[in-house]
Amino acid sequence: MLDIKVTKTTAPKAKPDEKHLGFGNHYTDHMFIMDYTEGRGWHSPRIEPYHSLELDPAALVFHYAQECFEGMKAYRAANGRVLLFRPEKNAARMQSTHRRLCIPEIPVEDFVQAVKALVSVDKDWVPGEPDTSLYLRPFTIATEAHLGVKPSASYQFIIIASPSGAYYAEGMNPVKIYVEDEYVRATPGGTGYIKCGGNYAASLIGQMKAHDLGYSQVLWLDGVERKYVEEVGSMNCFFKIDGVIRTAPCVGTVLPGITRMSCIELLEKWGYKVDCESRLPIADVIRAGKEGKLEEVFGTGTAAVISPVGELRYEDEVLTINGFQTGPVTQRLYDTLTGIQWGTLPDDMGWTQEVE
């Protein structure tokens, strides 16, 4: 149990217009910080007024990207209740990320306590407009000032919070996806399964290329054979082919998404046949599309929850999926997950936790 020292702001900011929040444009009044010092461990958990970070230009985070993050949301439910969605899963994934990056772990219960404490202090910042939420960004950075390539002797674990608008401000429209065959996101033995900054820096160029070609997201293939589907942009990706719902297995190159995991659990509960253990060749996806068996494609992630895919381009092939309409499974998952998250549906799965 962390003993969190809270220092409240004396100059609260004006709240932004909840109808025009966008994503990542506004930050709340406070932030959570905890320090790590070699020999002392994680210490000094505190909530402070939101402020700039002051770091030596030699801090390791600026040079060797020893940094990682999580993404999660707090949702405003009826009667002013505020809910979190499976925060312990984010905490566990952050531990896995820390291990791969040689950063000392944070106990799951401390992570969840810190998230709840910050949301509690900034509760008024959880927006109430439909489909808005308070986006939470826990992250860890290496702070030691040293130019040698080595794990840092000091870190900061920080949580900031950003009120965010409805992802589908203009309704849930299917997106067009470009299958990337030049750049690679991840490879076995690498960092594809963790949320480290380097994965995202490396992926920007593929994203820009897709945009230039008129596509909004990239579908990444495996880095070894360039043959199997892995992720879409920063989402996991599902394919309903001839009645079976498939998604890439999490075998070291694919981020184990919490929305992904929740979709699999719901689909299995609903009686769908789900295959999340065998790899799916892009050639099979294309063939299914041509044979009329590619019934639905959708991405899953914290930001969009569910993102229907209406078009896939791979090399010279362009597939339109389900007449560029959101499919029934895609819609049902979206409705169910968002219903649980915003508390409009009963939480039969026990996935939400209320912030006091």
**Contact residues for its own copies (CB under 8 A)?**
23-25, 27, 31, 50-59, 61-67, 69, 100-102, 135, 137, 139, 141, 145-151, 158, 160, 162, 182-184, 187-191, 196-205, 207-208, 223-224, 226, 233-234
247 pairs with which residues across the strands?
Answer: 238
The alpha-carbon radius of gyration of the chain (Å, integer) is 21
CB of 323 to its own copies, least distance (A): 29
Q: In this structure, are residues 185 and 231 in contact, taking their beta carbons and an 8 Å threshold?
A: yes
Question: Could you give the CA distance from residue 185 to residue 189 in angstroms, rounded to a whole number?
Answer: 12
CB of 60 to its own copies, least distance (A): 9
SS3 state at 185: coil
Question: Could you give the CA distance from residue 272 to residue 243 in angstroms, rounded to a whole number?
Answer: 8
**Closest CB to its own copies among 46 and 246?**
46
Question: Could you give the CA distance from residue 105 to residue 51 in angstroms, rounded to a whole number?
Answer: 25
Q: In this structure, are residues 229 and 254 in contact, taking their beta carbons and an 8 Å threshold?
A: no
**Closest CB to its own copies among 300 and 322?**
300
Q: Which is nearest to 137 in space by CA: 225, 48, 57, 70?
A: 70
CB of 207 to its own copies, least distance (A): 7
CB of 274 to its own copies, least distance (A): 28
**Closest CB to its own copies among 162 and 341?**
162
CB of 335 to its own copies, least distance (A): 26
CB of 71 to its own copies, least distance (A): 8
**Closest CB to its own copies among 164 and 326?**
164
The b/e string for 148-187 (b: 16+ C-beta within 10 A; e otherwise) is eeeebebbbbbbbbbbbbbbbeeebebbbbbbbeebbbbe
CB of 170 to its own copies, least distance (A): 17
Strands 133-142 and 154-164: antiparallel
**Closest CB to its own copies among 162 and 300?**
162
Q: Which is nearest to 294 in space by CA: 245, 351, 222, 356?
A: 245
**Closest CB to its own copies among 4 and 68?**
68
CB of 62 to its own copies, least distance (A): 5
Question: Could you give the CA distance from residue 235 to residue 250 in angstroms, rounded to a whole number?
Answer: 13
Q: Which two tokens stand for residue 153?
A: 């002797």
**Closest CB to its own copies among 216 and 322?**
216
**Closest CB to its own copies among 3 and 54?**
54
